[in-house]
């Protein structure tokens, strides 16, 4: 009797499964070669690689297969992780500088969303699969959002439409 195979929490396109498998087997594969193997256009591959849902799926695939790696392969990965970890603080400072100095709201939003995703605060699908998103925010983050909305005049009586209603559920976590 074998153990049940791990199952991803949402449905995934067959093409994404193929693509993740090819990228896992051959990380240096080009988009053009990947497109030929999967049977789509190279521009489609580029678009999928930018899709946060695909990135989350590929990360899950790689995590599932990490346990099967040899000790030598795991050590190589840990060496790479150590190099990235060593420079992470400097890169975060640079990213924060870019966010604070750019005048482009679209770029700011994109960078902030990417930062939240990498910090583990990415939107999550609701269990009921209704298409609603759940975002986990700390008390400090909520305080900043409320302060910024007041600064923007969204809480005052203005001609601007009121912000949408936000359904908030507070859960205690360890240490709170």
Q: What are the helix (H) ranges across the chain?
A: 14-25, 31-38, 42-50, 52-66, 71-101, 105-118, 139-151
Mean pLDDT of 18-33: 89
Is residue 20 within 8 A of residue 61, CB to CB? The reply is yes
Query: What's the CA gap between 57 and 48, in Å, rounded?
Result: 11
Q: Are 14 and 51 in contact (CB under 8 A)?
A: no
**What are the structural domain ranges in the chain?**
14-123, 124-176
> pLDDT tens digits, residue range 126-166?
455 555 556 666 777 777 777 777 776 665 554 545 555 55
What pLDDT shows up at residue 33?
Answer: 93
Highest mean pLDDT of the ranges 5-9, 45-49, 115-119: 45-49
Could you give the CA distance from residue 37 to residue 15 in angstroms, rounded to a whole number? 10
Among 56, 22, 48, which Cα is nearest to 37's? 22
Q: Look up residue 151 and give its DSSP letter.
A: H
Give the model confidence (pLDDT) of 57-112 as tens digits. Answer: 888 888 877 767 777 777 787 887 788 788 778 888 888 888 888 888 888 888 88
pLDDT score of 124: 58
Q: How many other CB atoms sit within 10 Å of the CB of residue 108?
A: 15
């Amino acid at each position: 009797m074998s153990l049940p195979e791990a199952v991803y929490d949402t449905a995934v396109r067959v093409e994404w499964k193929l693509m993740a498998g090819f990228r896992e087997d051959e990380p240096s594969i080009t988009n053009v070669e990947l497109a030929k193997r999967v049977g789509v256009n190279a521009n489609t591959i580029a678009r999928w690689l930018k899709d946060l849902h695909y990135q989350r799926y590929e990360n899950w695939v790689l995590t599932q297969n990490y346990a099967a790696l040899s000790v030598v392969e795991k050590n190589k990965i840990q060496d790479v992780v150590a190099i990235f970890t060593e420079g992470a603080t400097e890169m975060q400072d640079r990213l924060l500088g870019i966010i604070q100095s750019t005048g482009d709201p679209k770029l700011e939003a994109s960078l902030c969303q990417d930062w939240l995703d990498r910090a583990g605060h990415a939107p999550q699908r609701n269990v009921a699969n209704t298409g609603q998103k759940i975002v986990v925010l700390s008390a400090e983050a909520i305080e900043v959002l409320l302060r910024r909305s007041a600064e923007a005049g969204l809480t005052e009586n203005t001609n601007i439409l009121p912000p949408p209603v936000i359904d908030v559920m507070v859960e205690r976590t360890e240490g709170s």
